[in-house]
Structure formats: structure tokens, C-alpha cells
């Protein structure tokens, strides 16, 4: 998968892309990350924002440099990228969206900053608008990192255990069952007997029951969606 990141702050990504699973995915040649600075595509290399028409606080990101950059990437690429615009007004990001995006060969993530984008960026670029939740961050960089991380770990071959993403919370609409590791007893808190029994059939049944119980307790909204 090719991932193009369109941002005013490319340096924010260097650490996250150079560590853990995102780094391993790159080393295995399963992903390629390209960082593009919107500023490099502004006419005078500086002016990427301006005051909003009609007044109001802050600065709005100008359409020209973003359009120029996006069109430049599209002209040079062999594949047509799926364009994702990070915006608090977008569709709420979720595991099913991450699963869909992980199937794309080429993704472009467009990060806003300041007061956000000139509306024509949203309407003129054929984008999927994604929000990571009902709160306002200073920029689209942290949301883009969340989307990249959730998506890349689902690309086959990225995680050592192929089954691992399938067992995690949200994959089948349920939260994950409780997990334990050694020691079997810690400060008087014991690992459930069943997990020490070696009976795999019974363990799977226990895990399924726990996942359902936990989802009903903590996130009944997920369970309601499932049935
Ligand atoms: C300060 S926000 C602008 C918020 C905008 N004025 C509004 O009220 O909708 C600047 C940028 O951060 C990003 N952003 C902030 N919160 C976000 C969220 N919850 N999900 C996705 N992107 C977000 C977007 O790219 C946005 O353009």
C-alpha cells in the first residue's frame, strides 16, 4: 500500500512512522509512506492560509496549494488514490472503515490546520471525510496517525500472527474477552481456572461468553448494532 500524507507539519510523522508496527510494515515493503508539505506547493512558498470571508476567528487553509499538491500526486502516481480528508465533521472512524481502507492500494490523507479547510477543498476533491471523534484537535496530523496505525496493522503480513486482528475488539462487533499472562496469581488476584485447564474448546466458549458479557456491560450500543 502506498500512503501519501498531505500536511503542513510533515516532521510530526517521522517518529510515529519510524517505530513499532508502522516501521515493521515499511521494512517488510508492505507499505510506502510519502510525506508532502503543502507549503512547498504554495505560490510564494509561505501563504497557505488566509482570513475567512465574512469575518470570524482564525485563518482558513487556502484551496490552491492543496489542489496543486493533490493533482501533482495524482498525475505522477500509477494508481488513483483514495483521498481521505481529516475533519471533525466527517464520518466517525471505526474498525469497519479501517478494514475497508486497508484493502486500498493507494491512500492519500489530507490534514487540515488552523480553522480548517476552505470548503472547496471538501467539495472539489472527491474525498472521504473522516473524524476520529467529537472533539477538536489543533490539526489533522494526530487523526491521520490514528487512521494510518489502525489501517496498516490490518494489511496481511504486517502483524506476525495473521489471526491477531480478527480476535481484537470491534472486529466482530464485540469487545475482546479479558486477557491474562503469568503469574497465575498476583497480589491475591487469580487467573480464571478455565484458562489454566488446557481444554481449548471450553476456553474458546469462555472467551466468547466473556466477550458478549463485557460488550453488554461496557458498550451495549455495539451489541445492539450487531443484532
Ligand atoms: C482546529 S481544527 C478546525 C475545526 C473547525 N473550525 C470546525 O469547527 O469544524 C483544524 C483541523 O484539525 C483537524 N481535526 C481536528 N479535530 C479533528 C477530529 N476530531 N477528527 C479529524 N480531524 C480533526 C482537521 O483537519 C481540521 O481541519
The DSSP bridge pattern shows strands 185-186 and 49-50 to be unpaired
Q: How does residue 74 score in pLDDT terms, banded at 50, 70 and 90?
A: very high
The 3-state DSSP class for residue 102 equals coil
Q: What is the mean pLDDT of residues 63-81?
A: 95
Q: How many CA atoms lie within 13 A of 160 on its CB side?
A: 1
Give the whole-angstrom CA distance, residue 129 versus residue 83: 9
pLDDT digits (tens, 9 = 90+) for 92-130: 999 999 999 999 999 999 999 999 999 999 999 999 999
Atom of ligand 1 nearest to the CA of 93: 20
Starting at the earlier edge strand, list the strands of the sheet with 82-92. Answer: 32-37, 2-7, 106-110, 82-92, 128-131
Q: What is the mean pLDDT of residues 1-30?
A: 98
Omega of the bond leading into 189 within 30 degrees of 0 (cis): no
Give the whole-angstrom CA distance, residue 14 versus residue 183: 37
Q: What is the mean pLDDT of residues 138-155?
A: 98
CB of residue 7 inside a 6 A radius of ligand 1: no
Domains of the chain: 2-152 (3.40.1280.10), 169-226 (1.10.1270.20)
Q: Which residues pair with 160 in a beta bridge?
A: none
* pLDDT for res 223: 74
pTM: 0.94
* pLDDT for res 226: 57
Instruction: Give 195 Cα–ligand 1 centroid separation in angstroms.
Output: 44
Instruction: Give 131 Cα–ligand 1 centroid separation in angstroms.
Output: 8
CB of residue 138 inside a 6 A radius of ligand 1: yes
Q: Taking 70 as the threshold, does the pLDDT of residue 227 lie above it? A: no
Element (H, E) at 37: strand 32-37
Mutate to test the pocket of ligand 1, among 7, 116, 128 (most ligand atoms within 8 A of CB): 116
Q: Taking 60 as the threshold, does the pLDDT of residue 215 lie above it? A: yes
Q: Which of 117, 138, 127 is nearest to 48 (CA)?
A: 117
- Mean pLDDT of the residues in the chain: 95
Q: What is the mean pLDDT of residues 206-220?
A: 96
Instruction: Give 7 Cα–ligand 1 centroid separation in angstroms.
Output: 13
pLDDT digits (tens, 9 = 90+) for 159-177: 988 777 777 888 788 999 9
Give the whole-angstrom CA distance, residue 2 versus residue 54: 39
Instruction: Give 108 Cα–ligand 1 centroid separation in angstroms.
Output: 17
Amino acid at each position: 500500500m502506498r500512503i501519501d500524507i498531505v500536511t503542513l507539519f510533515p516532521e510530526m510523522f517521522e517518529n510515529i512512522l519510524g517505530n513499532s508496527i508502522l516501521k515493521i510494515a515499511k521494512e517488510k515493503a508492505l507499505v510506502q509512506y510519502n510525506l508532502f508539505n503543502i507549503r512547498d506547493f504554495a505560490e510564494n512558498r509561505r501563504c497557505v492560509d488566509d482570513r475567512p470571508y465574512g469575518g470570524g476567528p482564525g485563518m482558513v487553509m487556502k484551496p490552491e496549494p492543496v489542489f496543486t499538491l493533490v493533482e501533482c500526486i495524482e498525475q505522477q502516481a500509477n494508481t488513483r488514490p483514495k483521498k481521505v480528508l481529516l475533519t471533525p465533521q466527517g464520518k466517525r472512524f471505526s474498525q469497519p472503515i479501517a478494514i475497508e481502507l486497508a484493502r486500498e492500494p493507494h491512500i492519500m490523507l489530507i490534514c487540515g490546520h488552523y480553522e480548517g479547510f476552505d470548503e472547496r477543498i471538501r467539495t472539489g476533491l472527491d474525498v472521504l471525510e473522516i473524524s476520529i471523534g467529537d472533539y477538536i484537535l489543533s490539526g489533522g496530523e494526530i487523526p491521520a496517525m490514528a487512521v494510518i496505525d489502525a489501517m496498516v496493522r490490518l494489511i496481511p503480513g504486517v502483524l506476525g500472527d495473521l489471526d491477531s486482528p480478527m480476535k481484537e475488539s470491534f472486529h466482530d462487533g464485540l469487545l475482546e474477552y479479558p486477557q491474562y499472562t503469568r503469574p497465575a496469581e498476583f497480589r491475591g488476584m487469580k487467573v480464571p481456572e478455565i484458562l489454566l485447564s488446557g481444554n481449548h474448546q471450553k476456553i474458546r466458549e469462555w472467551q466468547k461468553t466473556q466477550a458478549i458479557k463485557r460488550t453488554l456491560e461496557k458498550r451495549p450500543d455495539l451489541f445492539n448494532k450487531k443484532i
